[in-house]
């Protein structure tokens, strides 16, 4: 009996320790970034590590959001014009690629499940297999293609690249969702004279909403966090997103750690809000088809 209790205590202790380690691993960098963003430039170069700012300051956020400050008697201009433009660019490309990817995946995956045409399964395998291709291997031919189409440094070009990269995953997810749905509802609608498009839009898609939302969340998060693609295909502030702008706060003679971390904290707000409000749909969508 004592051995059983000891084993139970050890197992709970091990589980608690594992959860704490996972929490520190996940939240620790965000916490440290928050602390750095609230620390004054003088304390940032201190040799003593601080787990909370000795003197809290919001000057880094002020510099991002439009306020000017003084540093050693010199006026420091705000980076709000660059930050706001990059923030808007991130929203535009992420939302556009999400909408387009989900729309294509909703219709394309339905065709792979309900329509019968030669090479259907082989074509689907080939599309999904592109997930295994490293992005670096197609960067040069893709760049040449974008140049020939005059799509460098355009929202259209970046959005199309994102769609081509994230569509296979969305197709795979939506195909699993459609396969888990009974076909009897669709057959009843067909018997009543409804077309396949009408059946898909009015009957199937509402039932597949968790899968659509899960695809949208995954696509948005992937697009929002992209760095290499916009670094190559968005060279100017016209389409440059936050992920490319923030590293540019590193200059030849000075690294503005406070400004970089403040920008990082603000940059994670949209994806965090998205996941918090739509998390249950993400879980439902990812679990769709698991029992098939």
Instruction: Please give the Cα distance from 286 to 269 (Å, whole number).
Output: 23
Give the Cα separation of 254 and 285 in Å (integer). Answer: 46
Distance CA 181, CA 289 (A): 8
Angstrom distance (rounded) from CA 152 to CA 150? 6
What stretch of H or E contains 75? strand 74-76
What pLDDT was estimated at residue 156?
A: 96
Check residue 73 and give left, alpha or beta (phi > 0: left; psi -120 to 50: alpha): left
Asked whether the beta carbons of 44 and 257 are under 8 A apart, the reply is yes
Q: What number of other Cβ atoms are within 10 A of residue 202's Cβ?
A: 11
Note down pLDDT in tens along the chain; length 292 residues.
Answer: 567 777 777 778 888 888 889 888 888 889 999 998 998 888 887 777 778 888 888 888 988 887 765 554 455 567 888 999 999 999 999 999 999 999 999 999 999 998 888 888 999 999 999 988 888 888 999 999 999 999 999 999 999 999 999 999 999 999 999 998 888 888 888 888 888 888 888 889 988 988 899 999 999 999 999 999 999 999 999 999 999 999 888 877 778 888 899 999 999 999 999 888 877 766 666 666 444 4
Is the CB of residue 124 less than 8 Å from the CB of residue 175? Answer: yes
The pLDDT value given to residue 8: 76
Q: How far apart are CA 157 and CA 150, in angstroms?
A: 8
- H or E element: which one contains 123? helix 120-129
Q: What is the pLDDT of residue 261?
A: 93
Helices 120-129 and 155-179: crossing angle in degrees, nearest 10, is: 130
- The pLDDT, as a whole number, for residue 76 is 57
Question: What is the predicted pLDDT for the residue at 283?
Answer: 64
Query: What are the structural domains, with CATH classification, of the chain?
Result: 2-76 (no CATH), 80-287 (1.10.3720.10)
Q: So what's the pLDDT on residue 249?
A: 85
pLDDT for 265 equals: 94
Please identify which residue in the block is written with the tokens 């590193």: 250
Closest to 100 in 3D by CA, of 156, 179, 178, 142: 156
- Tokens 């197992």, residue located: 11
Nearest to 112 by CA among 103, 122, 102: 122
For 98, the token pair is 């999400």
Token pair of 213 as six digits: 């939302």
> pTM for this structure?
0.88
What integer pLDDT is reported at residue 168 of this predicted model? 95
* Torsion angles phi and psi, residue 139, rounded to 5: -65, -45
Structure tokens at 243: 């992920």
Look at residue 183 in the predicted model and tell me its pLDDT.
87
User: DSSP per residue over 163-184, as a string?
Assistant: HHHHHHHHHHHHHHHHHTS-SH
Is there a contact between 223 and 94 (Cβ–Cβ < 8 Å)? yes
């Amino acid at each position: 009996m004592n051995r059983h209790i000891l084993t139970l205590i050890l197992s709970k202790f091990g589980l608690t320790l594992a959860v704490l380690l996972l929490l520190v691993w996940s939240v620790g960098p965000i916490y440290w970034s928050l602390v750095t963003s609230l620390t004054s430039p003088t304390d940032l170069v201190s040799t003593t590590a601080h787990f909370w700012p000795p003197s809290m300051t919001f000057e880094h956020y002020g510099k991002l959001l439009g306020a000017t400050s003084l540093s050693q008697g010199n006026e420091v201009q705000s980076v709000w014009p660059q930050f706001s433009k990059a923030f808007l660019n991130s929203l535009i490309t992420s939302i556009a690629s999400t909408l387009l990817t989900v729309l294509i995946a909703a219709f394309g995956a339905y065709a792979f499940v309900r329509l019968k045409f030669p090479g259907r399964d082989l074509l689907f395998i080939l599309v999904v297999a592109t997930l295994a291709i490293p992005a670096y291997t197609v960067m040069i031919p893709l760049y040449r293609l974008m140049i020939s189409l005059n799509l460098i440094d355009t929202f259209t070009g970046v959005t199309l690249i994102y769609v081509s990269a994230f569509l296979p995953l969305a197709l795979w997810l939506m195909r699993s969702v459609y396969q888990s749905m009974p076909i009897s509802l669709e057959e009843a609608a067909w018997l009543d004279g409804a077309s396949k498009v009408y059946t898909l839009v009015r009957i199937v898609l509402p039932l597949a909403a968790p899968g659509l939302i899960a695809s949208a969340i995954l696509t948005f998060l992937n697009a929002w966090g992209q760095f290499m693609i916009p670094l190559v295909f968005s060279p100017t502030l016209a389409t440059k997103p936050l992920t490319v702008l923030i590293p540019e706060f590193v200059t030849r003679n000075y690294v503005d750690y406070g400004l970089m971390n403040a920008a990082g904290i603000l940059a994670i707000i949209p994806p965090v809000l998205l996941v918090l409000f739509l998390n249950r749909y993400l879980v439902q969508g990812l679990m769709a088809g698991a029992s098939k």
